[in-house]
Amino acid sequence: MATRESYSTLNGNIKATTDPMRPLANFPPSIWGDRFLSLSVDTYELKACAKAIEAPKEELRRLIISQNLDSNEKLCLFNYVYRLGLTYLFVEEVQGQLDKLFKELNMKDYDNADLYTISTNFQVFRQHGYKLSCDVFNKFKDYRSCKFHEYTVTDVRGLLSFYESTQLRIRGESILDEAMEFTKAQLTGVVDTLQGNLAKQVKHALVSPFHRGMKMVEARLYFSLYEEELSTYDSLITKLAKAHFNYLRLLQRQELQILTKWGKDMEFQVITPYARNRIPDLYLWGLGLYYEPPYSQARIITSKIAQLVCVLDDTYDAYATIEELRLLTDAINRWEISAMEQLPEYLKPLYKILLNEHTELEKQLSKNGRGNSVTASKQAVVYHSSHFQELARGYLKEAEWRHRGQVPSFQEYMKNGLITSTYNVLFKSSVMGMSEIVTQEALDWYESHPKILEATGLLGRLYNDITTFQFEAKRAQKQVTSVDAYMNTFGVPEIVAVDELKNMLQDFWKDINEGCLKPTEVSIEILAPVVNLARMTDVVYRYTDRFTFPEKTIEEYITLLIIDPIP
Ligand SMILES: CC(C)=CCC/C(C)=C/CC/C(C)=C/COP(=O)(O)OP(=O)(O)O
Ligand SMILES: [Mg+2]
């Protein structure tokens, strides 16, 4: 690295001679400051809000299992329940009903059904893991002209639901690939001519398709955008949804207060002033992974780990010199407090936090867990620290490429990219946090490199690269990304490389969708945070890097979920 002055290493001890020139990124500061420190949540109020859910929940349970609804009415009800984020309250009931409906399904039933009905049925089955064939859409296509029928174009509600269905496609479903392009083009063409809520629904779906959105935000928006439809259907659902949003909002305020206090106690602002100190934004990631109340511990652990990963990433990419990074990586891989001695003064507090937080986690999980879950979560902590070490080595590899001005082959980049996507660390954080439901079997599954995990990790790596490579190229040394590696390996210009990487993103989503179809390798509860992480990645990196520049999306989402009152 070009340094104004430099550090020298003597027998593993670094001596600061003068200030080196650092690859500072000038990240914008968090807009939240200490704002959430003063959020106080009354425990009595929280309990009362939890209690307010019970009565409408029981009423809705009765409706779900009642014999009075026909199959289409049931699927319609499950669609509302799912889109409002309420399915987890009725897992067994919904599962039992869908099992029966899917078994009894006769494809002939769809002969006279319209585009909206078929698309909604398709979404409900696929969202719950039932592989309803995409052939149900064949009748909307004219096979002589290879085009979708003219009459579909005038059915905007049907088109919208068809567009949402295409987001659930897997590899080989070419009719859904075509339908995605077709519905998107048609909806884009008519959106400005539409009125009222339908206009808002189409506009929103074009910007953020439901399946790829953050669940709780989509639920809140669904509640307001589909209010008329919901209220004509059954006031019971709106009553439950409102009580549920109220409870969740309070719980989230409490969790964010705890995390803000933790961030202040850790003094990130003081020890890593060069890094992104973004607790509320990273809490949003945690919330995106699991919003259900029982996963409070998981949200808090994941958000803390994400903040640690964030300052570590910025230390590697946007502050330390290559010599310092070699020492830091070595110390992280030694994972013992005495290794702190080899670090420059400014890195010592960060190193101490990394180790201390893991020890704290171990203590907390042993204290809270029960029976087998203690053994599994202890094992998860071990895996977690080893993935943290792997992450540090991955970050160093990137730094060495950058330092030498070397561009690796695309294959080599992707192998390391899976590590630097941070997803192995984040997945292990979720395993630790969800300790109540984590078994040794689930842990073994994580370690067996399942396709859905790889697809989610690589989705993160490529999405992040595509939206950040231009910003990162402005630093003192150019960051190496998949865009450079692809251009170099395949000898194509930047525009072609970016296009190819974007196509890969679509394939990763297809693999993720496939991994959620029955029979799944692990339970839906274990799969949920994996898919939700892919959703958060899509939300944050779909257009630009909305993590580094959070005023669009992240700030709007935090305001909607945590600050604004429930209407
Ligand atoms: C990488 C990725 C998809 C992260 C999403 C998960 C997440 C919230 C991780 C913690 C913060 C982090 C490292 C953000 C990316 O920074 P960056 O843009 O500087 O990442 P880079 O240095 O790896 O390119
Ligand atoms: Mg970075």
> Which whole number is the average pLDDT over 191-198?
96
Sorting pLDDT into bands at 50, 70 and 90, what band is 7? very low
Residue 185 makes CB contacts below 8 A (sequence gap 6+) with none
* CA 423 to ligand 1: nearest atom: 6
Of all protein residues, the one whose alpha carbon is nearest to atom 12 of ligand 1 is 310
Residue 17 makes CB contacts below 8 A (sequence gap 6+) with 5, 6, 7, 8
Ligand closest to Cα of 395 equals 1
* Cβ-contact 123, 165 below 8 angstroms: yes
d(CA 18, CA 21): 10
Residues touching ligand 1 (Cβ under 6 Å) are 282, 285, 306, 309-310, 313, 317, 420-422, 460, 464, 468, 537, 547
Sorting pLDDT into bands at 50, 70 and 90, what band is 10? very low
Q: Does the model's ipTM exceed the 0.95 cut?
A: yes
* CA 282 to ligand 1: nearest atom: 8
d(CA 465, CA 536): 15
Token pair in block for residue 377: 């979560």
CA-nearest of 463, 467, 445 to 526 is 445
Over 50: is that where the pLDDT of 16 sits? no
Span from the CA of 302 to the centroid of ligand 2 (angstroms): 18
Over 60: is that where the pLDDT of 260 sits? yes
* CA 421 to ligand 1: nearest atom: 1
**What is the length of the chain?**
567
The pLDDT of residue 365 is 82
d(CA 376, CA 362): 11
105 φ, ψ (degrees, to nearest 5): -65, 135
Question: How is residue 560 annotated by DSSP?
Answer: I
Assign 311 to helix, strand or coil: helix
Of all protein residues, the one whose alpha carbon is nearest to atom 14 of ligand 1 is 310
Over 90: is that where the pLDDT of 367 sits? no
Considering just the CA atoms, what is the radius of gyration of the chain in Å?
25
For residue 311, which amino acid is it?
A: V
> What is the chain's mean pLDDT, rounded?
92
Phi/psi-derived region of residue 346, left when phi > 0, alpha when psi is between -120 and 50, beta in every other case: alpha
* Cβ-contact 525, 434 below 8 angstroms: yes
Give kind and range of the element (H or E) at residue 9: strand 7-10
Of all protein residues, the one whose alpha carbon is nearest to atom 15 of ligand 1 is 310
Pocket test for ligand 1, best of 278, 289, 313, 480 (most atoms within 8 A of CB): 313
Q: Give the predicted TM-score (pTM) of the model.
A: 0.95
Ligand closest to Cα of 469 equals 1
* Cβ-contact 14, 344 below 8 angstroms: yes
Degrees (nearest 5) of the Cα angle 23, 27, 28?
A: 160
Assign 100 to helix, strand or coil: helix
* Cβ-contact 413, 281 below 8 angstroms: no
Token pair in block for residue 207: 């910007």
What is the set of domains in the chain, with CATH numbers? 43-240 (1.50.10.130), 267-563 (1.10.600.10)
The pLDDT of residue 13 is 37
Ligand closest to Cα of 309 equals 1
Over 80: is that where the pLDDT of 372 sits? no
Sorting pLDDT into bands at 50, 70 and 90, what band is 158? very high
* CA 460 to ligand 1: nearest atom: 3
Instruction: Let me know if 393 is exposed, middle or buried by CB neighbors in 10 A (0-12, 13-18, 19+).
Output: middle
Span from the CA of 324 to the centroid of ligand 2 (angstroms): 16
Pocket test for ligand 1, best of 464, 482, 483, 535 (most atoms within 8 A of CB): 464
Ligand closest to Cα of 471 equals 1
* Cβ-contact 260, 36 below 8 angstroms: yes
Of all protein residues, the one whose alpha carbon is nearest to atom 3 of ligand 1 is 460
Of all protein residues, the one whose alpha carbon is nearest to atom 6 of ligand 1 is 422
Selected residue with higher pLDDT from 89 and 107: 89
Task: Kindly report which listed range (216-230, 304-318, 428-442) carries the lowest average pLDDT score.
Answer: 428-442
Over 90: is that where the pLDDT of 207 sits? yes
Selected residue with higher pLDDT from 31 and 53: 53
pLDDT digits (tens, 9 = 90+) for 428-487: 888 888 877 777 888 899 989 999 999 999 999 999 999 988 888 887 778 899 999 999
Span from the CA of 421 to the centroid of ligand 2 (angstroms): 10
Sorting pLDDT into bands at 50, 70 and 90, what band is 369? low
Neighbours of 485 (CB within 10 A): 23
Q: Tabulate helix, strand, coil % of the chain (nearest 5).
A: 75, 0, 25
